[in-house]
Amino acid sequence: MQRHKNNYKTHPFFILFTCCTAFQLPPCQLINQTVSLEKEGCPSCHPVETTICSGHCITKDPVIKIPFSNVYQHVCTYRDLYYKTFELPDCPPGVDPIVTYPVALNCHCGRCAMDTSDCTFESLQPDFCMNDIPFYY
């Protein structure tokens, strides 16, 4: 009788571990991003480089739903940030050309702060510019 060698590559844990690590999503972290700055009344957008929070956070969804209970999904959001100002060129007289934009200093997985973050599932890209959309009268 010949004995089979235990091959670790066929062990269920190894297969599960390999599959999970192969499709691992990037964690919540700072990334460099080009964002478009624009202001109503100014004719063009201006791209600037900044840091934003991006990546995935572990979330959970309870199997048993309890009525009137809140389930908070964590998102990748700012822990600390500051604001930079920029003067848009080509703004007509009477329009304040100054805009501010956030610069992330560090990130964490937490509840989405609607006053500083876009909490939607599908949002506009950071470099999207409303002035690029043709307006038909």
pLDDT of amino acid 26 = 87
Instruction: Return the CATH number at 66.
Output: 2.10.90.10
Task: State yes or no: pLDDT of 9 exceeds 50.
Answer: no
Average predicted confidence (pLDDT) for the chain = 76
DSSP conformational letter for 67: T
Does residue 62 sit within a domain? yes
Domain count, the chain: 1
Does residue 119 sit within a domain? no
Does residue 31 sit within a domain? yes
Query: Mean pLDDT over residues 37-52, rounded?
Result: 89
Closest CA to 88 of 126, 33, 46: 46
Does residue 98 sit within a domain? yes
Domain that holds residue 74: 27-108
Does residue 113 sit within a domain? no
Cα–Cα distance between 128 and 52 in angstroms, integer?
15
Does residue 84 sit within a domain? yes
Higher pLDDT, 86 or 129: 86
Instruction: Please report, for residues 3, 5, 15, 36, 45, the alpha-carbon distance to residue 9 in angstroms, rounded to integers and kept in the order given.
Output: 17, 11, 7, 49, 54
DSSP conformational letter for 56: B
Q: How many CB atoms lie within 10 A of CB 113?
A: 11
Task: State yes or no: pLDDT of 99 exceeds 60.
Answer: yes
Does residue 135 sit within a domain? no
Please name the residue that has the structure tokens 């043709």: 134
> pLDDT tens for residues 50-89?
999 989 888 777 777 777 777 777 888 889 999 999 999 8
